[in-house]
Copies of this chain bind each other. A is one copy, B any other.
Amino acid sequence: MSQTPDSAVRTYIEQHRAAFLDDLAAWLRIPSVSAQPDHAPDVRRSAEWLAGKLRETGFPTAEVWETAGAPAVFAEWPSDDPEAPTVLVYGHHDVQPAAVEDGWDSDPFEPVVRENRLYARGAADDKGQVFFHTLGVRAHLAATGRTAPAVNLKLLIEGEEESGSAHFRELVEERAALLAADAVIVSDTGMWSEDTPTVCTGMRGLADCEIRLYGPDQDIHSGSFGGAVPNPATAAARLVAALHDEHARVAVPGFYDGIVELTDRERELFAELPFDEERWLRTAKSRAAHGEAGHSTLERIWARPTAEVNGIGGGYQGPGGKTIIPSSAMVKLSFRLVAGQDPDHIEKAVRDWAAEQVPAGIRHEIVFGAATRPCLTPLDHPALQSVVRAMGRAFEKPVRFTREGGSGPAADLQEVLGAPVLFLGISVPSDGWHAPNEKVELDLLLKGVETSAYLWGDLAGHWSRTP
């Protein structure tokens, strides 16, 4: 470990920290909510803002890439070393929906720093974790005296991650030649805790759907007709109730087909982590652990597939009562998938199961979103070891291994580009992804900058590019 460049990196980061945070705040003010059609202009504005900032950072190429949905951003900074490997950093510039009335202490799109934390929608997921690479690459150049990075550095920052990455695969396939890389660094995950830096080795996949159930052609009087016709809200509830069996296993036939079970080594790595269930429950804002029988909490969130209700609605939800049988009801379900599960197979299994469950007299339809495949990185990959070393230098602590329960389109990159996927993230579980009061810890964000600053040199020094 070389002390001189490390201290040069730290000095550079300290000197540029204020401008870096101002820039990030400007980006966070753009409400780039990809799931809500009326925010489409904001998603575009976010892409344009980022492309401009990357050009300002020094990337010779930084451009907005159109898709059939929301635009992505691509940037490229070739190394001055013709032998350098090529790395593609993946992240996203769109964010989850957020509204003050969901329980935010301040406007989700007006970033504010309280107690060394930056609060805003997207602070951790994922604008903060994309943006640390801008100061990271500048610090890498400043500390090494280079004019171009030690690797051929590419960024692909998509605009539809929070709404299912519907056009991402198509984009990657179309632009595969420009995106070609020896490794993909996914900058959209987290680490174990403030005190325990970790590298993530896999992500769950995601399939999601909305099931709409239709009963009477309009709301009808529950006194005049109650007890004698099927109620679509009851049908929706019975469908959800049938999702899990008494062991909290998903009861959709075929759901577990082909899954890759955990190895003993992976169980050991999980067990090495300082897991405190009471503390974890506080982070989950929950009062009890509950899940598939025969598995630990960590296994449940990282290595087991799940089915969750994200939303349910039907009938009268206002104040007081309204004695109706509602005309319709709906449920939004999402399924986290693990290695070995195929989203197409899951969609078919859920459709068949729902058709079995819905009673006579209730019509139903199911709309699936775009699926995200699960993925896993080999523990012994040399580029993974570079990430571990760069993170160890930044945090000055041993780096352990985790997985990520969330989902991302990393598996598409792995499949189309034929490159291994590595995960680098500095977010912690308390950051509140998808929740009110999302934040990022400023100290960790700057460790992310520092890791990024060390990573390109380490990669170039320890791993040769594909011939």
Give A residues with C-beta under 8 Å from B: 35-37, 96-97, 102-103, 163-164, 190, 204, 206, 208, 210, 215-231, 233-234, 236-244, 281, 284-292, 297, 300-301, 304-306, 308-327, 329-332, 334, 336, 359-363, 369, 404-407, 429, 432-437
Known: A218-B437, A238-B241, A320-B369. 18 other contacts (CB 8 A): A35-B318, A102-B218, A206-B223, A216-B286, A224-B301, A224-B433, A225-B284, A227-B300, A227-B405, A228-B284, A229-B281, A229-B290, A237-B237, A241-B241, A290-B360, A308-B323, A310-B322, A312-B312
Residues of B within 8 A of A218 (CB): 102-103, 285, 432, 435-437
8 A-B interface contacts by CB (under 8 A): A218-B435, A222-B334, A230-B288, A231-B309, A236-B237, A310-B326, A312-B315, A323-B406
Q: A241-B237, A241-B240, A312-B312 are in contact. Are A229 and B288 (CB under 8 A)?
A: yes
| Minimum CB distance partner of A317 in chain B | B313
Q: Is the CB of A435 within 8 A of B310?
A: no
Q: Give chain B nearest CB distance to A139 CB in angstroms.
A: 30
Q: Is the CB of B312 within 8 A of A433?
A: no
Interchain CA distance A316-B323 in the complex, whole Å: 24
Q: Is the CB of A314 within 8 A of B315?
A: no
Interchain CA distance A455-B429 in the complex, whole Å: 74
Interchain CA distance A292-B360 in the complex, whole Å: 15
Q: Give chain B nearest CB distance to A105 CB in angstroms.
A: 11
One of B190, B224, B315 near A406 (C-beta < 8 A): B224
Q: A315-B312, A318-B36 are in contact. Are A323 and B291 (CB under 8 A)?
A: no
Residues of B within 8 A of A239 (CB): 237
- Count copies of this chain in the complex: 2
Q: Is the CB of B291 within 8 A of A228?
A: yes
Q: Give chain B nearest CB distance to A245 CB in angstroms.
A: 12
Q: Give chain B nearest CB distance to A421 CB in angstroms.
A: 17
Residues of B within 8 A of A317 (CB): 311-313, 330, 332
Interchain CA distance A326-B220 in the complex, whole Å: 29
| Minimum CB distance partner of A96 in chain B | B322
Q: Is the CB of A319 within 8 A of B35?
A: yes
Q: Is the CB of B37 within 8 A of A297?
A: no
Residues of B within 8 A of A190 (CB): 224
Q: Is the CB of A312 within 8 A of B237?
A: yes
Q: Is the CB of B306 within 8 A of A315?
A: no
Q: Give chain B nearest CB distance to A400 CB in angstroms.
A: 18
Residues of B within 8 A of A432 (CB): 218, 220
Q: Is the CB of A286 within 8 A of B223?
A: no
Q: Is the CB of B318 within 8 A of A233?
A: no
